[in-house]
Structure 1
Amino acid sequence: MHNDPIADAQAMLAAGRHADAVALVARHAAAGDAAALFQQGMWHLTGVPLPRDVPAARALLRQATERGSIDAGLIEVALTGNGSGATADWARAVSLLEQVARHSEQATGELGLLRKMALTATGAPAQSPKPRKIGERPNVYHIPELFSSEECLHVAQCAVDILKPAVVVDPRTGRDMANPVRTSDAAVIGPTRETLVIQALNRRLAAVTGTDWRQGEALSVLRYQPGQQFRPHVDTLPGTRNQRIRTVLIYLNEGFSGGATYFVHNALRVVPRAGDAIIFDNVRTDGSIDPLSQHAGEPVTNGVKWLATRWIRMRPFSPWTGPEHIA
């Protein structure tokens, strides 16, 4: 007799038997099965086949963690830190990470890296470097070594298993679509994958840009292999009421050729250096889209380039609600 109810439930879903899958997992969850509780929680996070309910998901993940699920524990840490389904609680998130680290090498590594950061009680940086202006029209600012080599590696590791061909936003529909303007591979480190290290880095990016960390979209990671590039473009979105006002680029590695960031209007070319960040505005002072912010990621000619991008919105941005959802 088959003894994997989660695999059975997935097979039912594939066959269109959603009610049967939900009922099967619910029975095992009611009996205290950690895997079933975790699956219910994840279904409530994704919104399929159960309705999206982040607070309910948090409660289920708590139960699964108490019954020994390390995966549930790691996601609970992320959601506690970034305030998904409840108010963000950094101290509680760190405490949960310490608990998971008793049984998880991954959590132990994250905790060790986190402890190397000089942070406040809310996870913000205790001190923040001042950006240096390197270009005008658009104004472009540079911060050397904003991320350490260990932090750069952590960002890449959080994304490597979900990389897929990058997309762009269709200016007519606002939907993601494949386009030859952008030929890299990309991944989004969404709220369930946001380790406390990633969250601390996002707060660091907020500090250097003079914004609230809640204004930032989920951190995106791009990988450019030889010949891949991002042709001239602007980062703003069509038809949104919460525009991307600012962009931060963080170069995660060196050891490749090409791949400079090129600003078309002022002919500024930024050569990537591991850990360095550049910041530029995408809108004018009146909030309108600034066409002078057009820029490109030039083709990589040798080796592989890794880049992280944080797009910052005009107002706080939630990845869980609204038409601009990030999975």
Structure 2
Amino acid sequence: MIHDPVAQADRLLAAGRVRDAVMLIEQAGHSGNVDAVFRHATWKLAGTPVPRDLPGARALLRQATSLGNPDAALVEIALTANGSGAPADWAGARALLDAAAGTDRVAADQLTLLDAMTLTKDGAPIDPPDAQRIGENPGVRHIAQLFTHEECLHIAQCAADMLQPATVADPRTGRNVANPVRTSDGAVIGPTRETLVVQALNRRLAAVTGTDWRQGEALSVLRYRAGQQFRPHVDALPGTSNQRIRTVLVYLNEGFAGGATYFVNNALRVTPRTGDAIIFDNVRADGSIDPATQHAGEPVTAGVKWLATRWIRARPFSVWTGPENAA
């Protein structure tokens, strides 16, 4: 009798015995082993060691949830709302969260945050706030307290266990090395980790920027410790077919020293305040990159700064195939 098929499958994969590992997980899943079912689902999401199959992953997540796996339930909720493997279904995702909250404290906490929001049936804000212009060339808009303190904390908690030092590929060796421009730690809240709270906030960002939520890249979270910074840069990308036309920055905390956002061209300096957001366009009217949008995250001199960034593309795209493959 196999005591832990998932651990054994991991050993088989490490030994290069991929077919045996897959067969073991499939057999254990058919026998009702919930951990094997969940592992099979994550493989189908990742596309390794089996081909990516989003509908198949959804079916396995449903099975794992019915067998009592709370982590599978949270992933199923995320994918239901963001349209991975099936059309986006906010109402269906909300119903799944309601069910999960009855037995899972994590889901219950998310439900509490969600219930504090005033949303449409599709998860969009009913009355999004207006932005106030605070700078010209580039045109920078500001919204005070776009996110609540609790919402900011939720975002930081979603990303905390995934934070990694910023790196870039060394063109000479191909190895990842420390990023000379951005020295912070960062994480991306991808489609399997997007709680309904995060997805509602992404829809709020879409509403205040006049865009479709499907145009946004996965929410990026940055943590700056003392001495860390993001040197002057522009967010637009060269040679892309689906440009980053707009950026939204949301400050997740305050109480640190330094760390202002500084726009070089007009010497505009924005002091972070918890929940405040700034919005700016990265391109000119003709779609070309606007160098006037060069900005920096100034060095933090004491404490820790948390920031969420949403880069918005010109056209909607699937996070599973990437912005360059947008229709």
Mark yes or no: TM-score above 0.5: yes
Give yes or no for contact 1:168–1:182 (8 Å, CA) kept in 2: no
Whether 2:100 is the aligned partner of 1:90: answer no
Alignment correspondent of 1:185? 185
Q: From the superposition, tell whether residues 324 and 15 of structure 1 become closer, same or farther in structure 2 (CA, over 3 Å).
A: farther
Whether 2:139 is the aligned partner of 1:139: answer yes
Alignment partners' CA distance in 2, 1:323 and 1:18? 31
Q: From the superposition, tell whether residues 92 and 261 of structure 1 become closer, same or farther in structure 2 (CA, over 3 Å).
A: same
Q: From the superposition, tell whether residues 64 and 153 of structure 1 become closer, same or farther in structure 2 (CA, over 3 Å).
A: same
C-alpha offsets along residues 271-325 of structure 1, whole Å, 9 cap, x if unaligned? 0000000000001111111111110000000000000000000000221014869
Alignment correspondent of 1:23? 23
Give yes or no for contact 1:169–1:237 (8 Å, CA) kept in 2: no
Alignment partners' CA distance in 2, 1:189 and 1:296? 23
Alignment partners' CA distance in 2, 1:311 and 1:304? 23
Alignment correspondent of 2:33? 33
Give yes or no for contact 1:251–1:307 (8 Å, CA) kept in 2: yes
Kindly tell me the number of residue pairs found equivalent between the two proteins: 323
- Ranges of 4+ aligned residues in structure 1 off by more than 4 Å: 168-172, 322-325
1:202-217 correspondence to structure 2 within 5 Å: 202-217=202-217
| CA-CA distance at 1:237 after TM superposition | 1.8
Give yes or no for contact 1:90–1:122 (8 Å, CA) kept in 2: yes
1:177-256 correspondence to structure 2 within 5 Å: 178-256=178-256
Alignment correspondent of 1:281? 281
Q: From the superposition, tell whether residues 77 and 139 of structure 1 become closer, same or farther in structure 2 (CA, over 3 Å).
A: same
| CA-CA distance at 1:193 after TM superposition | 0.3
Alignment partners' CA distance in 1, 2:126 and 2:236? 31
Alignment partners' CA distance in 2, 1:66 and 1:106? 17
Identity of aligned residues (%): 69
C-alpha offsets along residues 15-68 of structure 1, whole Å, 9 cap, x if unaligned? 211111101001011112211111111000000101011111001101111111
TM-score (norm 1): 0.95
Q: From the superposition, tell whether residues 113 and 48 of structure 1 become closer, same or farther in structure 2 (CA, over 3 Å).
A: same
Provide the secondary structure at the position in 1 that maps to 2:29: helix
Alignment partners' CA distance in 2, 1:195 and 1:297? 27
C-alpha offsets along residues 199-233 of structure 1, whole Å, 9 cap, x if unaligned? 00000000000000000000000000000000000
Alignment partners' CA distance in 1, 2:276 and 2:150? 13
Matched letter for residue 81 of structure 1? A
| CA-CA distance at 1:182 after TM superposition | 0.6
Matched letter for residue 202 of structure 1? N
Aligned CA RMSD, in angstroms, stands at 1.8
Matched letter for residue 206 of structure 2? A
Give yes or no for contact 2:38–2:60 (8 Å, CA) kept in 1: yes
Q: What stretches of structure 1 of length at least 5 have no aligned partner?
A: none
Whether 2:159 is the aligned partner of 1:165: answer no
Alignment partners' CA distance in 1, 2:84 and 2:238? 27
Alignment partners' CA distance in 2, 1:239 and 1:44? 31
Give yes or no for contact 2:242–2:323 (8 Å, CA) kept in 1: no
| CA-CA distance at 1:239 after TM superposition | 1.9
